[in-house]
Each structure stands twice: as C-alpha cells, then as structure tokens.
Amino acid sequence: MPAHEQSNPWAPLTPSQLEQRKIVSVNPETVSHTAATDIPGHWGPAQDDSWNLSRFRDNLKVDFHHNKPHDAAFSLIGVDASVANAFRRILLAEIPTLAIEDVFVFDNTSIIQDEVLAHRLGLIPLTGGQEGLKWLKWFRKPPPKDDFAAQATWDAEEGEDSAASVPSDYNTIVLILNVTCRWATKAEDGRDGKALAKDGESDPNIRYVNSNVYARDLVFEPQGQQGKYFNDDEDTQIRPVNPDILVAKLRPGQRIHVRCHCIKGIGADHAKFSPVATASYRLLPQINITQPILGADAKKFARCFPKGVIGLEPSSDDSDELQAVVKDPMKDTVSRECLRHAEFKDKVKLGRVRDHFIFSVESTGQFGSSELTLDSVRLLRAKAESDGVVGTNWVLSYEGIDQLYRGLAAGNWTS
C-alpha cells in the first residue's frame, strides 16, 4: 500500500507493490486494487509518476486482432482507464452520423401508424460517400411549438445562424419511399394472384406485388449540389446499409408515400445517430498459477476455463504427469470457476491487467470501424483544444491578475 508502509520510502517498489500497480485482483467474491495508483506521490518520492510524453509514447502499444471493414478488434496498451473510457463514450454518443429525422407523410393507408413508421425509418442505418458526408453541414432543428421554454431559448439564440435551421441541400438529404401494394395480374406480373388465392395459395409474395416494404425501396433524391458528392456512378449515393430491412407490410390497395429528411446528429441526442452497433472494451485477464497443478487436477483445471486458455504440458520435475500451463489468457472470460474448487483454488491468482484494453468496435455501416476510432481520438483532442486554447486565450487577457499574485509572493517561490 502507500509509501508510509514501506520500511524505506526511498526504496524502489517491492514485487507485490509492482503487481498491485499492474493488476486488478479478481477474488472469489470481490475485486480489489481497482483504482489506478500511477499518480505522482503515491509510491513515495523515489517513484516518478508525473506526466512524461516520451515515456508515454514508448509504453503505448496498439495491437490489432482483426480489422474487417465494419468490425475492428484491437488492444490499446499503456493508457489509463479514464482515457479508454472517453474513447468508448465518444464512439457511442458524440460522432456525427446521418439518419432520417423528419418524415413527411403524403399517403399512409397501411396498418402501420405514421409515428411507428417514422420511428422505424429513423432507425435504418444509412451509408454513402464519405467525402459527401463530411461536407454536409449541421441542421439546427427548431424545437416543437408547444415547448415554450425551448422555444424561448431558441428565439433568443436566433440570429446569426438562422440559415442553419432552414433545410437546404447542404444540410438535408431527401429520401422518398413510394410503395403501393396490389394483386398480381397476368398482364403485368405473369401470374394471376386472385385466381391463385382462390385455389388456396397463401404466400403473400405470390398473391400480391409489393406486399413487403423493404429499406431498398427508399429512393435517394439528390438536391442542389448533392449530385456532385453522391452519385450513382461511383456508388456513393445515400442508401441503407442493409437493403433487406423490412419496414412495413402492405395488402392490396394500401400505399405508403412519404418523404424523409435526413440530417446529421449525435448518439447523445438519439440512439439512431450512434455510428456503432456497439463499442466496448475489456481488460486483459491474467491467470497466475502460483503452485504447480498436476495430473487429474490439471485436466479439471483446464476444463474450468474456455478451450485454449489452459494447456497441459509435461511437468518439469516429473515428466510422467502433465501440468497446467497458461496458453492464451485473452480467450478467458474470467468466470472464476477455478476458484470454486478446493483442489486448486489456492494455487491460482486471477486478475486483469489494468492498462491493457481489448477494444471491440462494431460499426453500423456508415463509417469504417478503424476510421471511427481515429475520429473519436481526434474528437477528444478537439474537446481539449476548445477548452484549452480558448481557456489559454482567456488567461492571457487576465495575465495581469496572474502577475499580481505572483508578484505578491515573489519572495516565496522556490526558483
């Protein structure tokens, strides 16, 4: 524990302290040593834990496990939990994405209510040309007229950027959905739906035409300058990531004709704007076998973990018996099953490595996973800059007050 418990505060860290620093212990019913202890002063004056960019750069490692276009798994080693969590939070909630926001209903005679249909349309993930998506500006949506408080704030803020609250080609994408269901006819479709139905056919795909409305029925209508960025030839036009998403079901005579306005938003506003299916991380598990586990015990021990975590190898002293050896801790799910058996629960110590984060970033399809992670790092930097640079400018203008304090106690400063 802290420096005062060391016999000599100037001595380097003992092995158990080093382990405490590096590992979060996983015990049968508890988790201990969870807090990070790498702050200056915690381990005594001999330990230098202050921020050092070159030391950080040397210790930082990024190892990829797989990098498919919309699913990346990588290990980020050497950062603190608060920073890794900041990246995860930004991935979920603060990266701008395009999604359907306003649905203007011209005709909806289907059984799906307007608002339910609009909700479903909003949740459809869209994709399109990256360059165009970055070019798109923000659309400031005016609050509903019956929310007086929000309306008052809105009217007060109105002025300079009133242009941002007008839908135009640089902030809104228009998608049209126009589907009508009818009976299949001999003339148009080569089969007589009504006749087949009389004969007992019950499959709606055969009886009717357009009875299922899929996401692929959304038609992109480029407005103004959008044709430059989103065009058919280069396959950059706005389209749903998965064309087979079922939006509604219709029967003959029913029609859905809506116009959808898509705008940029962030996940914090509505989950439909979140660019990741999910982004999560876990810490690397650590299994420390303190005393050899041999023979039948070793086999039982291996069965307490997922396949591939524990391997059996000929024991060093007695080559007839097999001993348990840790092969791949990354596959472990830390179920603590081995701590439930008296034979080896005292021979093993479970834990997690405090600064080794195994990230899994699954994108919904609008952006690539590795690009999303880079965006989240850049966004955290931008947040710091907007508070820091602007903060710095402010302090510079108040340098006078700063000088005053320094001048007053000038005699007391050490150096």
Partner 1 sequence: MSNNGDTPMEELEDYEKGEELLLDGTKKLVILPGASSHAASFQIEKEDHTLGNALRYFVNKNSDVEFCGYTIPHPSETKMNIRIQTWEDTKTTAVDALRKGLIDMMEACDVISEKFTEARDEFDAKQS
Distance CA 309, CA 332 (A): 6
**Helix (H, G, I), strand (E, B), or coil: what is residue 169?**
coil
Of these, 8, 16, 205, 415, which contacts partner 1 (CB under 8 A)?
Answer: 415
Least separation in angstroms between residue 101's CB and partner 1 is 21
CB 310 within 8 A of CB 326: yes
Distances (CA, A) of 284 to 62, 73, 287, 328, 334: 14, 13, 10, 10, 10
* Of 314 and 388, CB closest to partner 1: 388
Please state the three-class secondary structure of 269-302 as a single string: CCHHHCCEEEEEEEEEEEEEECCCCEHHHHHHHH
Under the binding rule (CB under 8 A), the answer on residue 134 touching partner 1 is no
Binding mask 371-410 for partner 1 (x = CB under 8 A): --xx--xx-xx-xxxxxx-xxx-xx--x--xx-xxx-xx-
Q: Which is nearer to partner 1, 76 or 112 (CB)?
A: 76
The residues in 157-186 that bind partner 1, with binding defined as CB under 8 A, are 157
Neighbour count for residue 52 (Cβ, 10 Å): 11
Minimum distance between the CB of residue 390 and partner 1, rounded to whole angstroms? 6
Cα separation, 71 vs 360, in Å, equals: 7
The only residue of 19, 71, 80, 169 in contact with partner 1, by rule CB under 8 A:
80
Say whether residue 271 binds partner 1 (CB under 8 A).
no
Is 134:142 a contact under the CB 8 Å cutoff? no
Residue 339 CA from chain centroid, whole number: 33
Candidates 14, 27, 67, 225; binder of partner 1 (CB under 8 A) is 67
Tracing tokens 């921020």 back to the chain, one arrives at 51
Cβ-contact 166, 139 below 8 angstroms: no
Residue 83 or 277 having the CB closest to partner 1: 83
Size of the site for partner 1 (CB under 8 A): 61
Among 4, 57, 145, 307, binds partner 1 (CB under 8 A): 57
H-helix segments, 160-240: 186-189, 193-198, 204-207, 226-229
User: Which is closer to partner 1, CB of 30 or CB of 393?
Assistant: 393
Q: Does 140 bind partner 1 (CB under 8 A)?
A: no
Question: 313-372: which residues touch partner 1 (CB under 8 A)?
Answer: 370
Q: Binding partner 1 by CB under 8 A: which of 14, 34, 50, 278? A: 50
By CB under 8 A, residue 61 contacts partner 1: yes
> Which residue reads 């360059």 in tokens?
131
* Residues 2-41, interacting with partner 1 (CB under 8 A): 36, 38-41
For partner 1, the binding residue among 94, 101, 217, 297 (CB under 8 A) is 94
Residues contacting residue 2 through CB under 8 Å, at least 6 positions apart: 42, 43
Q: Which residues bind partner 1 (CB under 8 A)?
A: 36, 38-41, 49-51, 53, 56-57, 60-64, 67, 74, 76, 79-80, 82-83, 85-86, 89-90, 93-94, 157, 370, 373-374, 377-378, 380-381, 383-388, 390-392, 394-395, 398, 401-402, 404-406, 408-409, 411-415
